[in-house]
Structure 1
């Protein structure tokens, strides 16, 4: 059985970081890209959001005894398989996990324009993750 307190703390953390990202999302592309502080803030907030998403996924899979995933991608897929997350969001969440790996390990290859695009197009996918976990385990 999942520890609801752990989930709630991590979900709250993700929500706080999403608010930071949503502030950056409102910026015009040129303004955002012209200031390394905005870009770096977005990268950091995205990284820790995705890290928390992975931590939550690992917690759920372990506590619910849904198997031993080989990778962080596998753990997200297990949440989809067990109905915590919508199947239509699987690709986006898998791409987020892979993006986190790039930020951490291949940081020199992350394009600032990609960060801006993620801000514009993918924050709702993180919100969907929060909603899926909340609906399944908290509410």
Structure 2
């Protein structure tokens, strides 16, 4: 699995965003798992799962923007640039940055539905 450059979060902003991501992912998994075979037919379970994924995406972006500002890594021109700058700065692996850029695309798509 992917790891951040530093594994502990002495920074309260990073700690809070990390907790938000964890909570949202857990909730999304719960909605999907509890829905079982009926998940595809349950619009409220789908909405809850997608909304929590979008919240996790936004928290990851906030976390990245905070690190970029704190470490003075540059000025992102787009949401995808946040993860590119973190990879260039050595804060995350390039493969993780690529996955997170795809996550931004999902977030953009889900937000329009």
Long gaps (5+) in structure 2: 1-8
Of 21, 45, 49, which aligns to 1:14? 21
Distance 2:100 2:43 in 1: 26
State the Cα distance separating 1:3 from its structure 2 match. 7.5
Structure 1 consecutive aligned stretches of length 4 or more whose deviation exceeds 2 Å? 24-28
Cα pair 2:28 2:50 within 8 Å, conserved: no
Corresponding residue number in structure 2 for 1:47:
54
Q: Which residue of 1 aligns with 2:79?
A: 72
The answer for unaligned runs of 5 or more in structure 1 is 108-139
SS of alignment partner, residue 63 of structure 2: helix
Please report the RMSD computed on the Cα atoms of aligned residues, expressed in angstroms: 1.8
SS at match of 2:73: coil
**1:56-109 deviation per Cα after TM superposition (whole angstroms, max 9, x unaligned):** 1111001110111100100111111222222222221101011111222x22xx
> How many residue pairs are counted as aligned between the two chains?
104
TM-score computed with the length of structure 2 as normaliser: 0.83
Give the TM-score taking structure 1 as reference length.
Answer: 0.68
Counterpart in the other structure of 2:108: 101
Deviations 1:20-58 (Å, cap 9, x if unpaired)?
122134353x41111111100011101100000001111
Please give the secondary structure, in 2, of the residue aligned with 1:70. coil
Aligned to 2:92: 85
